[in-house]
Amino acid sequence: MRIGIDGRSLIPPMTGIGHYLKTVIEAWDQPCDEFYLYMPNAIPLELKTVSKVVIKSTRGIPPFIWKETVLPWLLTRDGINVFWGPQFVRPLWPIDIPTVISIHDMLWLSENLRTMGLKNRVGSRVLVPRSIASSTKIIVLNSAVKYQLSQHYPQFASKMVVILPPVTFDSPVARKQNGPVRLLAVNTIEPRKNIRLLVDVLLELNREQPMAELDIVGKWGWESIDLKRKLSLLSDSGIRYHGYVPQNQLDRLYSMSDFVISTSKYEGTGLPYVEALGRGIPVVAMDNEGLQTLRLFSPAIKRIPKDTSLKQWVTILKTCCYERVHFQKCAQQLAPDVRRCYSPMTAALEIRKVFVSAVTAFNATRGQYRPNFE
């Protein structure tokens, strides 16, 4: 099967969607399949995969114009069997092949203006609904997102398939039980992640005596200039901002952490939570959609209501510091179950089934026979 993919999310620095796509490709175990990665700019990619990967890039064309003009032409020219848009959208221009898109969250429909920048919000409000309507199949990354999506678009609910995102994990390691607690926050630095609250909580927690240290990882998003200035002055306060880091450095930070912490108000899949739990690291996080999908692993999660005050946050976090051994034992016990649920191999197999199903459904509307991709 020849699979065409919108590869723009692989352009560094990658967000969660880029890691999602990269993990799927690297877990693919069908040597007869070919991936055609399409992107508007040539970039070096390191992909550990047994499948054939062909990178198609075009220089000097703005990404949006490229997606709506060059990409459809390339898909037809290369004889692609199925097209996959892993970041919500497909070309609006009609293409005579089956198409699959992945929907990660519902932020693009949120009425809260702080969830994303104006340009992305307007673009998503225009492009995503049209992509939902015109795609052959829709991969949704958890049941909560599928429920919300089907409430808004019940006429397309039959096209939606839930496939949990693939996550790669280092092996769980033994945690220290004394000394300052190490906290890790993995976020794109933007308003909805609420990093200012997290910083204020840590400063207040450590006001009388040092109890915790905080590592913050993630690329800069929109409206972050003031926060960037503030973080640069806090290294002596036990708060370290590392910026965007490669995977091996992120793995090392996970291995040194006692908790993964998040004050984010809005999450779709909450991949950092999954990455932590699969490594045997407990999570302290503000309640959001990403946490709601992890109810099975609640013993290793301290869920904090959205209306919690700064003072209450400090009290709760102080209790977590004192009880870290208990939380760590719970997380270590649940880690094997998390790893099974979010297995990259399982996700790749299920996504391939969706691709085959999309080809079958697309051809059925044209009275064509199903090709043998099994």
Establish if 327 belongs to a structural domain.
yes
In the chain, how many domains are there?
A: 2
Give the range among 109-123, 207-221, 350-364 with minimum mean pLDDT.
109-123
Backbone angles phi, psi at 294, to 5 degrees: -115, 30
**Residue keyed to tokens 């590392």:** 242
pLDDT digits (tens, 9 = 90+) for 150-163: 999 999 999 999 99
Same domain, 320 and 355: no
Establish if 238 belongs to a structural domain.
yes
The secondary structure of 335-365 as a DSSP string is: HHHHHHHT-HHHHHHHHHHHHHHHHHHHHHT
Query: Hey, how many other C-beta atoms are within 10 angstroms of the C-beta on 250?
Result: 20
Query: What dihedral do alpha carbons 7, 8, 12, 17 form, nearest 10°?
Result: -80
Establish if 278 belongs to a structural domain.
yes
User: pLDDT at position 172, please?
Assistant: 66
Establish if 176 belongs to a structural domain.
no
Distance, in Å, from the CA atom of 200 to the CA atom of 223, rounded to the nearest integer, reads: 18
Establish if 173 belongs to a structural domain.
no
pLDDT digits (tens, 9 = 90+) for 236-265: 788 999 989 988 999 999 999 999 999 998
Same domain, 150 and 43: yes
Same domain, 256 and 277: yes
Q: Which residues contact 314 (CB under 8 A, 6 or more apart)?
A: 201, 204, 205
What is the domain range of residue 331? Answer: 181-341
Tell me the mean pLDDT in the region 72-95. Answer: 94
Query: Hey, how many other C-beta atoms are within 10 angstroms of the C-beta on 337?
Result: 13
Q: Is the pLDDT of residue 343 over 80?
A: yes
Q: Is the pLDDT of residue 370 over 70?
A: no
* pTM flag (> 0.85): yes
Cα atoms found within 13 Å of the Cα of residue 62, Cβ hemisphere only: 2
Same domain, 230 and 330: yes
Same domain, 55 and 67: yes
Burial of 297 (0-12, 13-18, 19+ CB in 10 A): buried
Same domain, 157 and 222: no
The secondary structure of 241-271 as a DSSP string is: EEES--HHHHHHHHHH-SEEEE--S--SS-H
pLDDT digits (tens, 9 = 90+) for 102-136: 999 998 887 665 567 667 777 788 899 999 999 99
Same domain, 186 and 285: yes
Same domain, 212 and 358: no
